[in-house]
Amino acid sequence: MKTLECRIDGGAGIEIIVRRLVIAGWAGRDARDVEHHIRELEALGVKRPASVPTFYRITADLLTTSERIDVVGTHSSGEVEVVLIQTASNGLLVGIGSDHTDRRVESYDVAVSKQMCAKPVSATLWRYADVASHWDSLIARSWRIDGDADRVLYQEGTLARLLRPEELIERGFGAGGMPPGSAMFCGTQGVLGHLSASAGYELELHDPVLGRSLRHRYLVDALAHVE
């Protein structure tokens, strides 16, 4: 179980308790986009999934709104993803997060790799009802932070590339939907270039219709591997 101190955009702070966390993998609508991401991972030695999309249940303790995370070694990287959080009192909420993953472990066990790193998520959230009607126009972006001032665009695409939340929820949680206290990462965008580690990542979910953005920035502290 994880307790997050958040706020709904434009409102007061709220406390969110997450008991169940699911990561949706290979969640693209277009088979070509899915194949592109599969090949990105195959280049790192990751086996092709048996079916798509795939859902991984991981511990909710990995969720964090912190601006720093610790990882082991220098072989992990982030992936910008929309995060859905179902609450009892505020309904379905939307955040932006990173499925930060250990790529070395991923090469031999994807499910285990998902458990290896913290999962950053924005402390500011939107109500899903406020963006549902123009969901496909939302834009998810990430930048690599390669130095003190260097910021390089790493991922960018509209949510029209990914399966709709309703379909992901039904396939990931069943016909009963997401119970309160559940969260789901909803799939990523293809990278611009190659999957690569970085000193940090900046994430954005931009709403061009309402003219606003969710943002989160985090730095990566690589712990030395002691033999």
What pLDDT band is residue 148 in, cutting at 50, 70 and 90?
Answer: low
pLDDT value of residue 39 = 83
What confidence score (pLDDT) does residue 50 get?
Answer: 80
Whether the per-residue pLDDT at 146 is higher than 90: the answer is no
End-to-end CA distance of the chain: 32
Mean pLDDT of the region 118-124: 98
**What number is the average pLDDT over the span 28-47?**
81
Q: In terms of Cα–Cα distance, which of 205, 170, 198, 189 is closest to 97?
A: 205
Q: Residue 84 — pLDDT band, cuts 50, 70, 90?
A: very high
**pLDDT tens-digit map of 65-78:** 999 999 999 999 99
Domain ranges of the chain: 2-223
**Distance from C-alpha of 159 to C-alpha of 109, rounded to nearest angstrom:** 27
What integer pLDDT is reported at residue 51 of this predicted model? 81
CATH number for 2-223: choose from 3.40.630.10, 3.90.850.10, 3.40.50.1820, 3.40.50.920. Answer: 3.90.850.10
Grade residue 38 by pLDDT with cuts at 50, 70 and 90.
confident
Q: State if pTM tops 0.85.
A: yes
- Contact in structure between 172 and 54 (CB atoms under 8 Å): no
Give CA–CA dist 62/100, Å, rounded.
Answer: 10
CA distance 83 to 186: 6
- Mean pLDDT for the stretch of residues 12-35: 91
What proportion of the chain, given as a percentage, has pLDDT over 90? Answer: 78
How many residues in total does the chain contain? 227
Residue 226 confidence class, pLDDT cut points 50, 70, 90:
low
Q: What pLDDT is attached to residue 204?
A: 98
Answer with the residue of higher pLDDT: 122 or 175: 122
